[in-house]
Amino acid sequence: MAQATRPTSDVCNSSSDLASSESPVQIKGQTVRILTNEELEKLQRDQILVSHFKQQKLEKEAQKNWDLFYKRNTTKFFKDRHWTTREFEELKACKKFEAQKLVLLEAGCGVGNCIFPLLAEDANIFVYACDFSPRAVEFVKENPLFCSKRCKVFQCDLTSEELQVNIPADSVDVVTLIFVLSAIHPDKMHLSLENIYRVLKPGGIVLFRDYGLYDHAMLRFKSGNKLGENFYVRQDGTRSFFFSRELLVELFTGAGFQSLVNEYVMRETVNKKEGLCVPRVFLQSKFSKPE
C-alpha cells in the first residue's frame, strides 16, 4: 500500500542535486517505479559495459577515488541530518526509556553529517563511525563537535577489515548504513553486511537508506558508464548501485538478518538550475539481528 508522508533529507552524490529542492510529499510503497517508454528504451539501449580491465582498476582504486572526492569537496558536499530525519526518529523509538544509553555505528560515515547533529542532540549516545577514506575520517576528527569520550572514529574498508578490531562483538544497538552499500561492488556487499552483523547486538537493528531502482540518477548516466546490472560509474570514478527491494532483502537475509521494513520512497525534486522536475527513488529499510 502506498503511503504519502513528509520527506526527510537525503544525500545525493551529484553536484546538480545541490541546486535542487524537494516537493513536500513523498510516497512510500512496495512497488517499483513505472518507467515511461522513453526511459525504458534508454535503459534497454545502454547495454555496453565498461571493459573488464577498467572495472578491475576502479575496484582497486575505490578507496583512492573516495579520498579524492573528499579532497575536492572537503566537508561541503553532503547536508547535515537533523532530528526531523527518519534515522533520528527511529533511534528515539529504539529506546525503552528516554535516558537509555545507545551505542550506534555509522558505517561509511563520510565527514560526519549524520553523527554530529546526533551527538549534539542526544547526550546518551556513544557513536562508532568508520569510513573507507582516511581524509573523511580526518575531517570527522577535526570537527569542533568531535569528542573522543563520546565518539570513536576509524578508517576501515567494510568489505575486508574486521570491525571487531575497533568494536566489541555483539555490542552495537543500531547501525546506520546511509548511501554506502551502493558505493560497494555488488560481489562484495555481502562481506560488509556480515562484518556489520558480527558487531551488532542480538536484537539490534540496521537502518538502511540508499538509491532505489530507476531513481533519476540512474537514468541520467550516459552510455559508457555502465558496469553491470543497475551498477554505474560516475565521472570521478566513484560507483553507484541502484537497489530493488528484492535484492536488498536477499543480501540482508543472506547475512543472517531479519527484514522489518523495506520500502521505496518516491518524491519529486525540482532542479532549480535546469527548471526540471525529476523523480527520485530511494530504498528505506530496517533489518534486525535475531535475538
Ligand X SMILES: C[S@@+](CC[C@H](N)C(=O)[O-])C[C@H]1O[C@@H](n2cnc3c(N)ncnc32)[C@H](O)[C@@H]1O
Which positions touch ligand X (CB under 6 A)? Answer: 11, 13, 66, 78, 108-110, 113-114, 131-133, 136, 156-159, 178-180, 183-184
Nearer to ligand X, 183 or 281 (CB): 183
Nearest distance from residue 37's CB to ligand X, in Å? Answer: 31
Nearest distance from residue 147's CB to ligand X, in Å? Answer: 19
CA torsion 111-117-120-123 (nearest 10°) is: -100
Nearer to ligand X, 12 or 278 (CB): 12
How many beta carbons lie within 10 A of that of residue 273, not counting itself? Answer: 10
Nearest distance from residue 217's CB to ligand X, in Å? Answer: 11
Nearest distance from residue 183's CB to ligand X, in Å? Answer: 4
Nearest to 32 by CA among 273, 240, 281: 281
Contact present, 136 and 168 (Cβ < 8 Å) = no
Question: What CA–CA distance (Å, rounded) separates 233 from 228?
Answer: 10
Question: What CA–CA distance (Å, rounded) separates 224 from 215?
Answer: 18
* Grid cell locating 283: 530504498
How many beta carbons lie within 10 A of that of residue 191, not counting itself? Answer: 16
Nearer to ligand X, 39 or 90 (CB): 90
Pairing of strands 3-5, 239-241: unpaired
* Grid cell locating 63: 578507496
Nearest distance from residue 132's CB to ligand X, in Å? Answer: 3
Nearer to ligand X, 178 or 219 (CB): 178
- Using CB positions, name the residue nearest to ligand X: 110
Nearer to ligand X, 136 or 172 (CB): 136
Nearest distance from residue 108's CB to ligand X, in Å? Answer: 3
Nearer to ligand X, 137 or 213 (CB): 137
